[in-house]
């Protein structure tokens, strides 16, 4: 089993790292939270004082960070991973970020004969805990084959989508579909409630048909139970949709649905609920309709 460096022990990274330990791997971690550091130290992880120190103690390193600037800082900044990684070591960046940034970092690492794959995930906190995430990977085929067992410790679906950057292009496509799906569920349930029909019964009636989806099954109950505890925050989805729009602009492709959902999410952030789960998108529709879904 491998000794794995892990940086980014947040809502997603913490359960993902725990599943690596369950699979028999040992960890060396860097974190800025003293509470998290104590938790992992008590669990037997080696604690590093910087990303560079993580790299000096592990040849396989996983990053799970908020966005492109944080990844660039951790990898390329002062005392960053690039200062400690050895030739032929591997960076598995599981952050959802701009594909062009993934490729930029990969070029910098390649200059030092360091390998990289981008491997963003989908499934939110519940699937991170269960180890059943969907992992979208961009890398060379031989690297994919070598590191597949590590990725399988965190995800039940692991698919190589192409070279470095392809993983994040795939994640952007995923986030378009998830955002539009949650918006459609919100719109439909608020319509039902406004028309005097029980949204819970509507949900039960349609989930087995063509309208059924993982997003419907996961998010409709949260909307009706008023449970907006974050599995995936609105603010993070805004970040992903911003990457979608930037990428789309760069390649001149239309994204009208994404643009509309982005406006909805930005409105919710202005209302002070950006840290709620993205199922809170229903509150945008409720506000316009002047109702609240019945429990």
pTM to 2 decimal places: 0.90
Tell me, which fold does domain 3-164 have in CATH?
A: Rossmann fold (3.40.50)
Q: Where are the domains of the chain?
A: 3-164, 169-289
Helical (H) or strand (E) element with 29 = strand 26-30
CA angle 28, 16, 96 (to 5 degrees): 100
CA angle 277, 21, 132 (to 5 degrees): 45
Per-residue confidence (pLDDT) for residue 61, from 0 to 100? 98
pLDDT in tens, 199-219: 999 999 999 999 999 999 999
Catalytically active residues are: 171
Task: Say yes or no to pLDDT of 73 above 80.
Answer: yes
Angle of helix 68-76 versus helix 99-110 axis, rounded to 10? 10
Q: How confident is the model at residue 231 (pLDDT cuts 50, 70, 90)?
A: confident
Cβ atoms 280, 268 nearer than 8 A: yes
Q: What is the mean pLDDT of the chain?
A: 96
Cβ atoms 45, 28 nearer than 8 A: yes
Give CA 227 to chain center in angstroms. 20
φ and ψ at 8, to 5 degrees?
A: 115, 65
Helical (H) or strand (E) element with 160 = strand 155-162
Q: How confident is the model at residue 119 (pLDDT cuts 50, 70, 90)?
A: very high
Gyration radius from the chain CA atoms = 20
Lowest mean pLDDT among 11-15, 34-38, 98-102: 34-38
Q: How confident is the model at residue 72 (pLDDT cuts 50, 70, 90)?
A: very high
The architecture of the domain spanning 169-289 is Orthogonal Bundle (1.10)
Cβ atoms 19, 131 nearer than 8 A: yes
Nearest CA-CA partner of 86 in 48, 56, 117: 56
């Amino acid at each position: 089993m491998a000794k794995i460096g892990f940086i980014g022990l947040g809502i997603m990274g913490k359960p993902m790292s725990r599943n690596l330990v369950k699979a028999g791997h040992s960890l060396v971690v860097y974190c800025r939270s003293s509470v998290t550091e104590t938790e992992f130290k008590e669990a037997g992880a080696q604690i590093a004082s910087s990303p560079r120190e993580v790299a000096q103690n592990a040849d396989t390193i996983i990053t799970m960070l908020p966005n492109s600037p944080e990844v660039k800082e951790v990898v390329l900044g002062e005392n960053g991973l690039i200062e400690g990684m050895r030739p032929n070591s591997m960076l598995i960046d599981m952050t959802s970020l701009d594909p062009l940034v993934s490729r930029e970092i990969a070029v910098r690492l390649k200059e030092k004969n360091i390998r990289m794959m981008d491997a963003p995930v989908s499934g939110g906190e519940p699937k991170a805990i269960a180890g059943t995430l969907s992992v979208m990977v961009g890398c060379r085929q031989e690297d994919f084959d070598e590191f597949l067992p590590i990725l399988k410790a965190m995800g039940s679906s692991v698919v190589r989508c192409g070279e470095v950057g392809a993983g994040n292009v795939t994640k952007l496509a995923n986030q378009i579909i998830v955002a539009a799906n949650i918006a459609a569920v919100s719109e439909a349930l608020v319509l039902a409630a406004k028309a005097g029909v029980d949204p819970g019964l509507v949900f039960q009636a349609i989930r087995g048909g063509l309208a059924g989806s993982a997003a419907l099954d996961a998010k409709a109950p949260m909307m009706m139970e008023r449970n907006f505890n974050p599995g995936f925050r609105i603010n993070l989805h805004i970040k992903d949709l911003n990457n979608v729009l930037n990428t789309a602009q760069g390649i001149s492709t239309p994204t009208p649905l994404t643009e509309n959902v982005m406006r909805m999410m930005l409105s919710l952030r202005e209302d002070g609920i950006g840290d709620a789960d993205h199922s809170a998108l229903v509150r945008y529709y409720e506000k316009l309709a002047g109702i609240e879904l019945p429990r």
